[in-house]
Chains A and B, each alone.
Chain A
Amino acid sequence: MYFAKLILRNALRHKLRTGLTVLGIFVAILAFGLLRTVIEAWYAGAESASSTRLITRNSISLVFPLPITYQEKIRQLEGVSRVTHANWFGGVYVSEKNFFPQFAVDISSYFDLYPEYLIPPEQMKALVLDRKGCVVGRKLAETYGLSIGDVVPLRGTIYPGNWEFVVRAIYDGKEAKTDTSQFFFRWDYLNETLKKTVPRRANTVGVLVVGVRDADQVARVAAEIDRTFANSLAETLTETEKAFQLGFVAMTEAIVVAIRIVSFLVIFIIMAVMANTMAMTARERMPEYATMKALGFGPFSVVILIFGESLAIAMGGAGLGMLATPPVAHWFAAKIGTLFPVFDVSRETFAMQAAAAIVVGAIAALLPGYRAARVRIVDGLRNIG
């Protein structure tokens, strides 16, 4: 109890220095938490992938389409429950800055396979009745202020021309991590238009999404799909939805690695600042530690004082940083719009922040603690700081 009081008094002796150190740790822990959240957001797509969905695409690369007829051939395979398809549209909404994923899909079969996208039945009906209708995610609708009945113009990059869609439905996510920043419209609208403008590109799809009845069958079905189309004009590559999503993450892995390294660098920087504070504090108090020793306190007590003070300062700053992380992350997510579909601070991030603070506090106290424990009473009393 005495020790706790002494530690607190010691920590508050140099208010300016302690305040500055706490501020530094606050900034560092906040930055660390945000960077970790960015990394997690990077993997969010793969995290929410279903284990019973397969993605079949052209084996050359995603740029090459597959004939729509493949859908029926896959449907006949054993273990397949549902098949649907999607085309990446890649249109530009007003300007290039407003990026969000757009897919041309077969509305009814697609949303059957993705039960995590919830559409009210009457909106679904409106969508089925309007060929130019589209469905947008809740987050996307909020970002651009879209509501039912609005017209969304898109400038095609892959499919030339100016396209117009009418918002007929807004979908919600079943869970918090469900991506609600996507835009879906009817594939038949795309296909009918292509038949008139670029007939050779009609009746093709970008990827086929295959629902497998049983999770154990996934590997077998994937192999069988690829075998079915081997040596055809469009050979396929089938992988689980998770592997497909992770493939995208892997392509930008260098950036993820860089952010990860930088997130640890910020901890190192603050460790240097914290260690400096503790080194100065201990150097100034050397005579006091010597006095304590002269009064009969062992080296262990002195070490506890220094570690306690260091940890108290580190935890104080870290606590404030952790408190500030969710609101700042929320503000950041609102600012960047739909770039990261999911941007929530996870429990692991909080744990990592707390762990980082403890490590910083402990390491900063290491050298001063060692010196104070070793100092001879006479030398310590003679020390003038």
Chain B
Amino acid sequence: MLLEMRNIRKTFPGVVALNQVNLQVQAGEIHAIVGENGAGKSTLMKVLSGVYPHGSYSGQILFDGQEREFAGIRDSEHLGIIIIHQELALVPLLSIAENIFLGNETARHGVIDWMAAHSRAQALLHKVGLRESPDTPVGQLGVGKQQLVEIAKALSRKVRLLILDEPTASLNENDSQALLDLLLELKAQGITCILISHKLNEISRVADAITVLRDGSTVQMLDCREGPVSEDRVIQAMVGREMSDRYPQRQPQVGDIVFEVRNWRAHHPQRSDREHLKGIDLNVRRGEIVGIAGLMGAGRTELAMSIFGRSWGQRISGEVRLHGQPIDVSTVEKAVSHGLAYVTEDRKGNGLVLNEDIQFNTSLANLPGVSFASVIDNGQEHRVAQDYREKLRIRCSGVDQKTLNLSGGNQQKVVLSKWLFTSPEVLILDEPTRGIDVGAKYEIYTLIAQLAAEGKCVIVISSEMPELLGITDRIYVMNEGRFVAEMPTAEASQERIMRAIVKAS
């Protein structure tokens, strides 16, 4: 046994991220960790690699049979535990060789021996099967090759346990296959590997064991050496939680189609050759709550933001209709004036002005609504903020409290207030309950149900499938820039959604 993690428990203010997680990795195996978004995979790896230092969690980590207490990443790297994150940590302007030895330079008295570095880099590149000169700037390589550089970098540090977080998420089919082959090869050389992935077909190809995480705890460890493990069994383990009444009851009253998007296409903002949204058709009826399911990176946020005033992407084409009439949504201002509202998934980064108070943030998207001839009526503004504070039950010391000091749930309610005050007809809610506690979630669900009952169109983007199943009327399943399935919620199940995603990828 190379690694054992026992009863790991990690909490963040108000949230238990990991609870009684156990992980056992044998030397020389490829161990897959699977679970839904938010199941705790990344948190667990951060505990293991020392990003969350000893003392910030409870439980034990045993490596080589000895208990370890990592104070930081350096400690874990020293033992040969190396993690390759989903967002690659390479410096694009530096060469391959410079990146490989960054922080670990071949140097004497601080003077780098470039000749030695070059030849060592060459050897490492050969090992990972990358035919590029070590002098090539990393920025000129594709994502697949960059991944190989990361692995070469790991190998340069005498890696014993290599952790890959969603390594194939942004790779095409060929690059993915090559990467998986490389992992098998490394395994033959005795390097142990932890693979975090959503792609079950890849996992069944290379994994010796699978640990399934759900809601921050270990559900199951499956051993693939005793015979193949079916994908169904893994999916069931991933999603199999009981559904109680965590969602408000509602009688949907669905009317005619109000909001429509036709053949929506958009390209990546930096790479105009990469089509990210590939012809999406979507419609929402009056009083309907429509869900968009999918994994991270499926393009859901990009879809919403590109529709909302072209806030994402370039070379955008397609048509948006409201009540059958095409509308111009080319700027946020126009989109808002047509009654669109987009509640961002990143409330701190894109939603709130954190060093300002609740009142400031509530009126921000509709300042004309609280002003006369461009002069803000403070009393009116205060009344509006107070109104939403009561309606949405925002817990705060007053509407003059800075939004920075609010809890996640209350911050989310402030963002919602901001958009409700624009009196929208179509609301797009992106991960409306991410990172907020169960009680606040219920309040948000109730509010969503209320909005639908008022005849508004609501689109909910969520990575939490039970949430979509609990509150929506209809679900689109999105994968890699396309809608791959559409189903009435009544006929949907987590297994069906997962299957649609897995089949498409």
Do chains A and B interact in one complex? no
Partner-A contacts on B (CB < 8 A): none
